[in-house]
Structure formats: structure tokens, C-alpha cells
Homo-oligomer: A and B are copies of this chain.
Amino acid sequence: VRALELRDGELTSILAPLPGAPDHCLIRVRLAGICGTDLQLLSGYADFAGVPGHEFVGTVERTPPEAESWLGARVVGEINIACGDCARCRSGARSHCPSRRVLGIRGASGAFAEYVALPAGNLHQVPDALDDETAVFVEPVAAACRILEQVPDVGARTVAVLGDGRLGLLIAQVLRGTRTSVTLLGRHATKLDLARRLGLDARLPRPDDAGVFEVVVDATGRPAGFTDALRLVQPRGTLILKSTCAGETALSLAQVAVDEVTIVGSRCGPFERALEMLSSGVVDVRPLLSGVFPLGAFDEAFAAARGGIKVLLRP
């Protein structure tokens, strides 16, 4: 099957064997999304080599006997492939299974390919009312919804989302669903315009934003985003860290102790809640779509993803 392979920071088109294990479902990829993490992987994050891609919508074409009911279903898939047996899996924290593989990020071939493979337990059926271009956003919207699980009272607090990119625009919409006002702070005029068209309170950061917000979400995807977010958060406030960046950055943590800031690392989230948010229209993803490229045009697609918002690949 055709797939994109990342090796030594270079992406190439290859012919790969069918992915997955006998107990996995084989899914024909209908659309796959390029995420900030994919751009980070190209810069060396997580030392990943193989087929990247972890946001997708597809059709189940082959299953193990016990999962036959999934045949033909249009699905999205949770990306952590856990052992299911260890103490952490049994405690419900499957996304933190120490021997997990992660689709397109760690030890598992990803969705920038004609086919992807996942256990049936990772799959979620897509309602007919959600088209492919919307459903491909389920994974990042779920990651945004993770914040609602980790900071349940976030709706009662003043919130800034820092970063007007893919994830920031989704997080701001998800959090707006819990309260009247969330401020999206970004640096790109066109993206801020888009955010305002989505009804968000979006603007450039100002000097008087320092120490103003009870909750700040770092969705910049840049190593310096942490320091910027720390500048915005109130003493005893909460900084939600969504950025995963390659390499080390010069940081000072003294303010974290002095201001007694709580930092909450945040990763994958609940797919069911994301499907609800997309179905109900709380989150509107269509305006975020910058382009759809065939798999072979990956160079153009990744270039567009660096400048634009959400770029999709169609294998």
C-alpha cells in the first residue's frame, strides 16, 4: 500500500506492507489530517521513524472474527494502542500504558497511508450526519476536550488560549462551550480574523495581559509558548500545557514556585465527547480547513500546513 515514510527528517512516498496485527481491524483511510505534532516529528520530536499521521477518518475493510460487526463502518480511532493488562491499563489510564504504541507517533504505522490498522476497541463509529472533512477533526477536538476532564471548573474561571493555530482554535471553541467568554491570543492577523468569524474574542496579546488570567492554555506548539503563557497567568492560576516540542529550551521555573502556578500537562481526550461537540455544532471546524491534497502531493501539503491551519491528505 502507498504510504509516506519519515526517516532522518525526510518524508518520502513508499510502498509499504499492509499494517497491523491479526487482532487489528484494517481501515482504508478516507482522509488524514496534518497536526502540529507531525510537523514536530519532522523536526526530530519523539525520534519517530516510519509512517506518521494520527488524525484520520476511514472505512473498516477487514476485521478479526470477533469484530466483524465493524465491517464497512466509517470510523475514527483512538491513537493509543495499549496492552490492556498492566496496572495502568486496568486503572483506566490506557493512554499511559508503558508499553503502548501510538499511531504514527510511537511504534505504530500511522494514517498518512492508504490503510491503517487499530484494535476494534479503539474505534468509534462516525454518525452519518458528520461528513469526512468534519470527522477527521475528532482526534484533535478530543484532545481539546481533555481539558474539561482535567480542570472541571474551567468554565467558572477567566481563560486565555494562547496560540491561534489548529489546536488553539479548537480549544477556544470547546472552552467557549462551557462559559460566556474565552480570550484567544495569537500573532497572525488572518488566523485572528478567522477566530473572530467563529465568534471568538480573539486578538494580539497586550502588555496589560500580564498576570490577568486564571487559566492559560499553551497551544502555541512553540517552546517559547510556555514562557509567554507563564506571563499571562495569575498567581495560583493554572497553565495547561498542550505543546509538545522537540529539544530543550532555556526556561526559568522560579516564577512557577513563587506564584504557586499549577501546570497541567494535557494530551489525548475523550472521542465520544468530541463527536458530540462536532455533531451539536459547539465546535465548527469547516472554516479551519486550509486545503485537501492527494497523498502524493505531501510536499505541497506540508508546506501548506506550516502556513495554514488544517491541511488534509486524501490517500
Contacts and interface: CB of A to CB of B under 8 A. Distances in A.
Nearest to A260: B265
A243 B253 CA distance: 8
Nearest to A46: B254
Interface in A244-262: 244-262
B252 A247 contact: yes
A226 B257 CA distance: 12
Q: How large is the interface on A (under 10, 10 to 19, 20 to 34, 35 or more residues)?
A: 35 or more
Interface stretch (A126-134, A174-182, A234-242, A270-278): A234-242
B254 A251 contact: no
B257 A244 contact: yes
A257 B267 CA distance: 6
Contacts of A88: 235
B262 A265 contact: yes
Contacts of A256: 241, 263, 265
A45 interface: yes
Contacts of A235: 88, 93, 96
B226 A253 contact: yes
A211 interface: yes
Nearest to A248: B250
A150 interface: yes
A67 interface: no
A121 interface: no
A236 B267 contact: no
B262 A264 contact: yes
A264 B266 CA distance: 15
Given A98-B211, A259-B265, A245 B253 contact: yes
A246 B254 contact: yes
Contacts of A255: 265
A44 to B, nearest CB: 11
